[in-house]
Amino acid sequence: MDLPETPEETLDPQDWDAMRELGHRMVDDMLSWLETAREREVWQPVPAEVKAHFRQPVPREPAPPEQVYADFRQNILPYPMGNIHPRFWGWVMGNGTALGMLAEMLAAGMNPNMGGGEHVGIYVERQVIDWTKELLGFPTGASGLLVSGGSMANLVGLAVARNTHAGFDVRKVGLQGCTGRLTVYTSVEAHSSIQKAVELLGLGSESLRLIPVDDAYRIDVATLEATLAADRSAGLQPICLIGHAGTVNSGAIDPLETLADIADREGLWFHVDGAIGALAVLAPDLQGKFAGMSRADSIALDFHKWLYVQFEAGCVLVREEAAHRGTFSLTPEYLAHQERGVAGGSRWPNEYGVQLTRNFRALKIWMSLREHGVEKYGRLISQNAAQARYLAGLVSASPDLELVAPVDLNIVCFRFNPGKGSEGLPRLDDAALNALNEEILLRLHECGIAAPTYTTLRGRYALRAAITNHRSRREDFDLLVREVARIGHEIVKEG
């Protein structure tokens, strides 16, 4: 009974009204900041003094919330990544939305633990998963889980593939002493998260068979089939085939119907990495590209990419609920479900993935889909794909720019190549063009003009614009093309 008789302390505000007032200011500031994004640089470097500001000893004493917020306004808000901006097309990122931002506040206020239990958040997440199954043509009996993103969704899918197709009890005995070699097949264009998952699962990157691609960066089916046959002859045990609904480099879509047929015939788990493009099925004009996708045994997708939802909002669907649950479910006493009370309910989300504690990421997705409806998302995805074609058209029409990969979806890989290497200006070799385009990209960033990133395709360094941006307009691509050419010539002139 060693509690002091003084009142207990709490982290609750001493002055709730002051906190309300601060909250209002934050809402106003952040919404204005989003509203005026177009007027600012896309990106600017973090000054040395700001970096130094974040190398301090741990605070011992309290500070008023207003002061903490002032610090945020001064030292954090001015130096964002930039993906909220209309001219950010780096990697593959969504912008987020105004209501999505507010939804995160609501979710954090309620702060449920979505690992399990009986409370409304569980039903909201189930609704989002059901909607996703409906949109992607998955059966109603399929299971699903909201996860951090594509990396985790791919890991979950491959874990189920491993555990169901090894032919022995992997959970119990592990891969140690496995006499065969379980192998996984995908194209060389696969995202690094596939290799990461294969390594983490103990399969070894040697077991990941990377198949070459055709000119459109789609998996070469003939080579895939030959490799499968050769591997079987060599005593390997193929377990999983991974197709892409949009590759990270160029947005290429593998021939999913054909891959589904092969997986069927060969008895392989068919996983689709749809992080980049799966949601494009919402766009009527793009839907046809994804034939066969709904035949996947598991699929990874990201609401924080082409649904423009705030990070983190990934999702995995698994056709066979039992296989999914059988890979992850562990119910020790302290996680056992009751019939009644807060520990009630069945099929707790933690039984379908790696996380036990999970936040209420379902809310922002649910509110976003309610706010805009899927038809508008379909139009916006179409619009981004049309913008990609528009940009590709500008590039092709420019005397000094060229495409480095075909545009299948929303990713445009191009480079500055003065005179397209053919006339007037001295012809530059690939090494010189690579260096030149790298410098162009850095200046685009440093001047705050635009933020594509880059990739290298068959040795050619390419500026890469991945358009999952609901704020971009045609004029932004006009500007991009104009500035790339201007900066390119400027660098050439500098010699």
Looking only at residues 444 through 463 of this chain, which bind a second copy when binding is defined by CB under 8 A? 444-446, 451, 453-456
The sheet with strand 401-403 has its strands ordered as 88-89, 451-457, 460-466, 411-416, 401-403
> Contact with a second copy (CB under 8 A): which of 160, 211, 228, 369?
369
Binding pattern to a second copy, positions 78-117, x when CB under 8 A? xxxxxxx-----xx-x-xxxxxxxxxxxxxxxxxxxx--x
> Contact with a second copy (CB under 8 A): which of 471, 479, 489, 491?
471
Contact between 438 and a second copy per CB under 8 A: yes
Q: Are 316 and 145 in contact (CB under 8 A)?
A: yes
Contact between 160 and a second copy per CB under 8 A: no
> Contact with a second copy (CB under 8 A): which of 358, 418, 433, 468?
358
CB of 429 to a second copy, least distance (A): 19
* Cα 134 from Cα 355, distance rounded (Å): 25
Contact between 48 and a second copy per CB under 8 A: no
Q: How many residues bind a second copy (CB under 8 A)?
A: 194
> Contact with a second copy (CB under 8 A): which of 142, 155, 242, 252?
155
Which of 366, 415, 379, 351 has its CA nearest to residue 280?
A: 379
The kind and range of the H/E element at 50 are helix 48-53
Contact between 442 and a second copy per CB under 8 A: yes
How buried is residue 408: exposed, middle or buried, by Cβ count under 10 Å (0-12/13-18/19+)?
Answer: buried
- Tally the C-alpha atoms within 13 A of residue 315's C-alpha that lie toward its C-beta: 32
Query: Could you tell me which stretch among 212-220, 315-323, 385-393, 417-425 binds a second copy (CB under 8 A)?
Result: 385-393
Contact between 240 and a second copy per CB under 8 A: no
E strands, 291-389, in order = 298-302, 314-318
* Cα 66 from Cα 75, distance rounded (Å): 14
Q: Return the residues of window 56-75 that contact a second copy according to CB under 8 A.
A: 56-65, 68-69, 71-72, 75
CB of 22 to a second copy, least distance (A): 7
Nearer to a second copy, 192 or 233 (CB): 192
Nearer to a second copy, 128 or 260 (CB): 128
Q: Return the residues of window 125-154 that contact a second copy according to CB under 8 A.
A: 126-127, 130-131, 134-135, 148-152
Q: Are 475 and 462 in contact (CB under 8 A)?
A: no
Between CA 284 and CA 290, with CA 285 as vertex, the angle to 5 degrees is: 80
253-276 core/surface letters (b: 16 or more CB in 10 A; e: else)? bbbbebbbebbeebebbbbbbbbb
Query: Could you tell me which stretch among 219-227, 315-323, 351-359, 420-428 binds a second copy (CB under 8 A)?
Result: 351-359
Q: Are 312 and 149 in contact (CB under 8 A)?
A: yes
CB of 233 to a second copy, least distance (A): 18
CB of 268 to a second copy, least distance (A): 17
Nearer to a second copy, 43 or 260 (CB): 43
Contact between 13 and a second copy per CB under 8 A: yes
CA 223 to chain centre: 29
CB of 88 to a second copy, least distance (A): 8
Tokens of 220: 């070469």
Q: Return the residues of window 273-332 that contact a second copy according to CB under 8 A.
A: 302, 304, 308, 310-312, 314, 328, 330-332
Which of 168, 124, 162 has its CA nearest to residue 146?
A: 124
Contact between 435 and a second copy per CB under 8 A: no
Q: Are 416 and 430 in contact (CB under 8 A)?
A: no
What is the residue whose two structure tokens read 């709730």? 16
Q: Return the residues of window 171-200 that contact a second copy according to CB under 8 A.
A: 171-182, 191-193, 195-196, 198-200
